[in-house]
Homo-oligomer: A and B are copies of this chain.
Amino acid sequence: MLKNTLCNIGLFKDCGDSFFTNLAAGAKSHKYNKGKILFLHGDKGDNFFYVQSGWVKLFRETLDGTQAVVDIFTTGHIFGDTAIFEDGIYPYSAEIVESSEIITLPIAPLKEEIANNSKFAFSMLGSMAKYRRQQDREIEHRSIQNASQRIGCFLLRLLQQNEDGQVQIHLPYDKMLVASRLGMQPETFSRALKKLQNETGIRVKGSTITMDDCNQLVRYSCAACTSEFPCKDISSAAE
């Protein structure tokens, strides 16, 4: 059951049986509703987390309450693992943004496995390096893409996981949240999405977006990006 789930996590592909046993021994699966805070940045904890289903927002806040979204993760991703390197202190807060099933896992076996299994350590490093590249791109996009282009790019990344031809995308969470994920205000998002419709012929109805093909969108958004479409660094999971 739980152990099986863990064995199928890509990041753990080279891990030994005892690792899974230890991990499963301290594992708990929970279902959470939207709004649930799992931990706050600065909290100390002995667990890391695996998203079995749903969506989780990682964020930080200033004293006056302004929020910066670090990332939003779904099925297949782990988070809270970097606390290993910071004396168990989480570097961000985590909030459930769509009803989710989260597996809570003890951090000690993870640390052990890194120490004892060099293949796994290498996988972890690879995963970190990949994430690092994603963040580089994020920073890049904030400086060279405008609001509409950023939305277009966001849509294209959702689309990748599906097939080509007549394309349909369903926003996985609130538009307000997409806006904050992209570092803009909800009003700006609303207007920029409308502009994107005019420029690229995508059709928006509620949280569903359709288009005949994605070429126009690619031309519009990827023009202001240093990578070529399709972006290679897309991961449906923490691999």
On A, residues with C-beta under 8 Å from B are 41, 60-64, 66, 68, 70, 82, 84-86, 91-92, 114-116, 118-119, 121-122, 124-126, 128-133, 135-136, 138-140, 142-144, 183, 223-226
Contact = CB atoms under 8 A, between A and B. Distances in A.
B132 A139 contact: no
B132 A224 contact: no
A225 B139 CA distance: 17
Given A121-B125, A125-B114, A136-B135, A226 B62 contact: yes
Nearest to A134: B135
Contact of A139 (B85, B115, B138): B138
B223 A62 contact: yes
Nearest to A225: B62
A84 B130 CA distance: 11
Contact of A114 (B115, B122, B144, B183): B122
Contact of A82 (B41, B61, B133): B133
A187 to B, nearest CB: 15
Among A68, A142, A224, chain B packs the most CB atoms within 10 A around the CB of A68
Given A62-B223, A144-B62, A226-B41, A68 B121 contact: no
